[in-house]
Amino acid sequence: MSTDVRGAVEAPVPARSYRQVYNTRLAKKILAEFCHERFVRPTELSPGEYVVYSDGRETEYRFRAEVLSLDSWCIDAASLRRIRRGEELRIDSIDLVVDLSGSLGIPLEALPEYLEELTNTASISMNRPDTRRIPAADLAVADFQTIEKTMTEGHPCLVANAGRLGFSADDVERFAPEAGGRFALAWVAVLRANTDFAAMSGIDYAGLVRDELGADTLARFDRMLIGQGLDPASYYYMPVHPWQWAARIARIYAADIAEGRIVPLGEGPDRYQPQQSIRTLFNVSVPARHYVKTALSIVNMGFTRGMSADYMRTTPLINDWVRERLHGDRYLASIGFEMIYEVAAIGYRNTTLTAITQPGSEYRKLLSALWRESPVSRVAEHEQLTTMAALLHIDHDGIPLVKVFIQKSGIPAQEWLARYLRAYLHPIIYLLYRYEFKFSPHGENLILVLDGGVPVRAILKDIGEEICIFGAPDDVPEDCRRAVAEEADEIRNLGVLSDVFDDFLRHLALLLHESGLITDSDFWATVAHSVTEFQDRHPDLADRFEKWDLFAPTFPAIHLNRLQLSNNRRMVNLGDSYSTLVDTEHALVNPIARHRSTTVAASGEGVHAA
């Protein structure tokens, strides 16, 4: 390990200096992630002292760093210097990418749009009004949605993680999660003959819209259709994001509107707050009502964020099948782990565009929505909901929120970590090894339940669009088979090693290490102990633990920035094999491999599924 940079936290700064603080933070992340993905290979000048040269070698970036587990670069932000021909220049994250663009392999014609996405990402924190900056100490006792809107980091691996291409400055202020705005959804009536509606068992369309809209609004919508000589029984009512309506639907579907296949009905009664995933909206008027997720045709974090009718007609069916498989599982119940399911979905098909396009076309992803369960009713009064992304949040004065949670808990940091891993890591391993279900359990897709600052259980969301079902089980209905993935045994463990260890725990380990709370080596020793603890509790899965080895010496990296830079509008083909994403030339050393237990569980039957 190189020179120790632990404790190099930012000192409180005057408000006017926050812009440079966040600019330097982003530059630090750019260097760290591009070094991790081996776009950039720093030269070590002396132990712990590094330099990265610009493409023309006219500019150099000097910094102190430790290289932690998983090629994780712990860079001392205060040490970062930018020097050009002997003159020290101000650190600028945008200039940094320009200086390194050749090394990053960004085509010259693609560089301006990537810089636009990076600039939009930077503005979230740099341009945030001081009134929206909440100290970590206050955030640690805040409500669910206050925490949600205060996050500034975005995806921990992706550098340009909040591009929002398509939004104007006014749109960002109104619809971006960090603005914390609350707005009504537009509602339309869509002709049933052109629309797919699907729901989980026990959910029907009439009951859903009655519960979501209320009897008065439902009656108002019926009267609007009848007043135009239309039969309400021939239509579904459907929510639409206001931006999507104004920017896409009202123009592209103008003929459908003119001919009465789509009928605008005005706003619904409730107000919604955008979540970190931006197209998912939380009902702040009646929090127990469902989240609504809508098509939103902006480019953000490697994809155009539409939603297709093709997917909507199967998403609730996949959720239903997963729920049925997990029903009655005693182990998941014993640790309090839950999923919030996508209970219903709806998608409109324009007959002309559908006829001339293939599945996957953005023109099939313009007008769809789904309803997801709310977690609000699942917590006790003394418990607190938070996005798991909050564990990586650092406030404007450099205080990590996770540090405050640990202090609030009153238990040692390592014990706090162990409890967190039982709540989060254990069920993710269990789902993969018991059921062969792989999800995308990153920070935004997990909701933690805290009690006195301690994680006590986890709630997983984004089921239907993220699940990979391994093993090709025979009982998967034909309509759900898009979720079935054929993968070789040797990469099944990437559902934990890559998706959990590299994509999230690597960043948490770095934050805890540089904050002086838990050293990197102690962090991964705790993770190893937690994995062993889990495996000892489930000896009946021993054959799978052996086949999909979580203690494998190395595993192949998946480079998310490389994928985004190659195609910022569809960084991966969701229909391709998971194995096509891996970089077989970059093997990461597994940080828990050296802690492999030499003992085998001597007795006990474990806790089995019902």
Domain match, 210 and 67 both: no
The lowest-confidence range among 11-25, 277-291, 305-319, 459-473 is 11-25
**Domain ends where: 372, 394, 411?**
372
pTM above 0.85, yes or no: yes
In this predicted structure, what is the pLDDT of residue 17? Answer: 79
State whether residue 37 is helix, strand or coil: coil
Strand order across the beta sheet in which 446-451 lies: 338-339, 454-460, 446-451, 384-387
Domain match, 362 and 387 both: no
**Domain ends where: 346, 372, 398?**
372
User: To 10 degrees, the CA torsion angle through 551, 553, 554, 555?
Assistant: -30
The CATH number assigned to the domain holding 71 equals 3.30.310.280
Q: Above 50 in pLDDT, residue 604?
A: no
Domain match, 507 and 471 both: yes
Give the whole-angstrom CA distance, residue 516 versus residue 531: 24
Domain match, 248 and 389 both: no
In this predicted structure, what is the pLDDT of residue 9? Answer: 52
Query: Can you tell me the mean pLDDT for 551-556?
Result: 97
Which token pair is 504? 């999230």
**Class of residue 3 by CB neighbours under 10 A (exposed 0-12, middle 13-18, buried 19+):** middle
351 alpha-carbon distance from chain centroid: 33
Q: Above 60 in pLDDT, residue 7?
A: no
Q: Above 70 in pLDDT, residue 68?
A: yes
Max CA separation in the chain (angstroms): 80
Separation in Å, CA 170 to CA 167, 175, 327, 519: 8, 8, 45, 44
SS3 content of the chain, % helix, strand, coil (to 5): 45, 20, 35
Q: How confident is the model at residue 581 (pLDDT cuts 50, 70, 90)?
A: confident
Q: How confident is the model at residue 416 (pLDDT cuts 50, 70, 90)?
A: very high
DSSP string, 219-276: HHHHHHHHHTT--GGGEEEEEE-HHHIIIIIHHHTHHHHHTTSEEEEEE-S--EEE-T
* Each residue's pLDDT tens digit, 494-538: 999 999 999 999 999 999 999 999 999 999 999 999 999 999 999
Query: Can you tell me the mean pLDDT for 357-384?
Result: 96
In this predicted structure, what is the pLDDT of residue 4? Answer: 62
Domain match, 326 and 274 both: yes
Domain match, 340 and 405 both: no
> Is residue 112 a part of any domain in this protein?
no
In this predicted structure, what is the pLDDT of residue 6? Answer: 60
Q: Which residues contact 520 (CB under 8 A, 6 or more apart)?
A: 1, 66, 68, 69, 72, 74, 509, 510, 513
Query: Contact at 8 Å (CB) between 300 and 311?
Result: no
The number of C-alpha atoms within 13 Å of 42 and in the hemisphere containing its C-beta is 28
Strand order across the beta sheet in which 272-274 lies: 195-199, 342-348, 368-372, 291-294, 280-283, 272-274
> Is residue 431 a part of any domain in this protein?
yes
Domain match, 401 and 479 both: yes
Q: What rounded mean pLDDT belongs to the chain?
A: 93
Give the whole-angstrom CA distance, residue 363 versus residue 308: 9
* Each residue's pLDDT tens digit, 185-240: 999 999 999 999 999 999 999 999 999 999 999 999 999 999 999 999 999 999 99
Cα angle 475, 478, 483 (rounded to 5 degrees) comes to 85
Instruction: Give the H/E segment covering residue 511.
Output: helix 506-514
Number of domains in the chain: 3
In this predicted structure, what is the pLDDT of residue 607? Answer: 39
The CATH number assigned to the domain holding 558 equals 1.10.510.40
Domain match, 349 and 402 both: no
Query: Contact at 8 Å (CB) between 117 and 18?
Result: no
Q: Which residues contact 424 (CB under 8 A, 6 or more apart)?
A: 388, 441, 446, 448, 455, 458
Domain that holds residue 39: 18-105
* Each residue's pLDDT tens digit, 90-134: 999 999 999 999 999 998 899 999 999 999 999 999 999 988 999
What is the distance between the terminal CA atoms of the chain, rounded to a whole angstrom?
46
Domain match, 392 and 324 both: no
Q: Which residues contact 372 (CB under 8 A, 6 or more apart)?
A: 280, 290, 291, 292, 293, 340, 341, 342, 343, 461
Instruction: Please state whether 59 falls in left (phi above 0), alpha (psi between -120 and 50) or beta.
Output: beta
One-letter amino acid of 277: S
**Could you count the other beta carbons within 10 Å of the beta carbon of residue 231?**
9
